[in-house]
A and B are shown apart, each in its own frame.
Chain A
């Protein structure tokens, strides 16, 4: 997740990472991680504090005023076998949601032009 400031709105954070800020902490699916006081205030999240508590790397490029929040560290690429929501465009730019294929088996193949 690319950021241009060290604070992010709670709604934006949830939309882009799936982590929702709730009274009990940062929550995603059945998991809730209690947050230290001050991490989330007035609708905003202190990204450095959030990242440290969720074991997510936060990389900063000072020359370009950018931050990148990486995925949680210490486990596996998958924390659950439930397929993540993935919405990507086709060649014409039309978005396609993987979940629209529910009810069929799916082989999702990653390839590249390189």
Chain B
């Protein structure tokens, strides 16, 4: 998907850089990257450094950067393909949780046509594109960082550090605190949930169902937040 985007935009002078936000590091991201055979830089962010620096709160998210190294779009949802589920009914016979997840996935807004149009326009016209924001707008539209969110970042970092050290009970406590302090940060939640539910040696668990470790899980939290709020709007 990202390689196709790169193939389209690179002739217009745009480079695509992908960053895998995976506490599991290269091992977690490797199967997807190798399958994509990317020609663009494909980086691994095991410490979620870019979340904190740029304000990513879900994936896929993106920022746009101009030739001078200035951001022209702060963190935003980056859908370059329509949802495969949007226009088709949820198949019958699925396990109930997967069925219910797909029902919610169908409700998640996906404005890939608008986003791709904006991206193509910016690629061609640069700062003359109406989608390119001024530096002041970029800062103003970046994620707010009240004290609770800043503290959540510190808690999440502690959780990751302890998880990598094998101190998993201690890590979970800090992940829970990050979730409490910033409940709308899906990156913190999905990463912690999948660490808890992925079996050793298997691909990252996408279902992220209930566990004894966390109060929330993907399906219940999306229902509670409203699927329409899962991504901030791109406008």
A-side residues, CB < 8 A to B, are 1-2, 55-59, 61, 63-64, 66, 68-84, 86, 88-91, 93, 96, 98-99, 101-114
Contact = CB atoms under 8 A, between A and B. Distances in A.
Contacts of A99: 69
A108 B19 contact: yes
A68 B142 contact: no
B214 interface: no
Contacts of A59: 151, 154-155, 158, 174
A88 to B, nearest CB: 4
Contacts of A69: 154
A16 to B, nearest CB: 10
Contact of B14 (A61, A63, A105): A105
B117 to A, nearest CB: 14
15 contacts: A66-B158, A73-B146, A78-B139, A90-B41, A91-B33, A105-B64, A105-B126, A106-B14, A107-B64, A107-B78, A108-B19, A110-B59, A110-B60, A112-B190, A114-B204
Contact of B61 (A74, A91, A109): A109
Q: How large is the interface on B (under 10, 10 to 19, 20 to 34, 35 or more residues)?
A: 35 or more
A82 B151 contact: no
A108 B75 CA distance: 9
A76 B17 contact: no
Given A90-B43, A111-B21, A113-B32, A76 B60 contact: no
Interface centre among A59, A90, A102 (most CB of B within 10 A): A59
B153 interface: yes
Interface centre among A63, A71, A91, A111 (most CB of B within 10 A): A111
Interface centre among B17, B70, B126, B143 (most CB of A within 10 A): B17
Q: Which 4 A-B pairs have the closest CB atoms?
A: A77-B55, A70-B154, A81-B135, A73-B150
A81 B44 contact: no
B45 A113 contact: no
B204 A2 contact: no
B20 to A, nearest CB: 6
Nearest to B190: A114
Interface in B10-59: 12-22, 24, 26, 28-34, 41-45, 49-56, 59
Nearest to B68: A102
Nearest to A60: B158
A92 to B, nearest CB: 8
B194 interface: yes
Contacts of A113: 20, 22, 24, 28-29, 31-32, 194, 203-204
A110 to B, nearest CB: 5
B90 interface: no
A114 B191 contact: yes
A18 B13 CA distance: 30
Given A57-B147, A86-B50, A113-B204, A71 B153 contact: yes
B62 interface: yes
B105 interface: no
Contacts of B21: 110-112
B33 to A, nearest CB: 6
Contacts of B66: 105
A78 B195 CA distance: 29
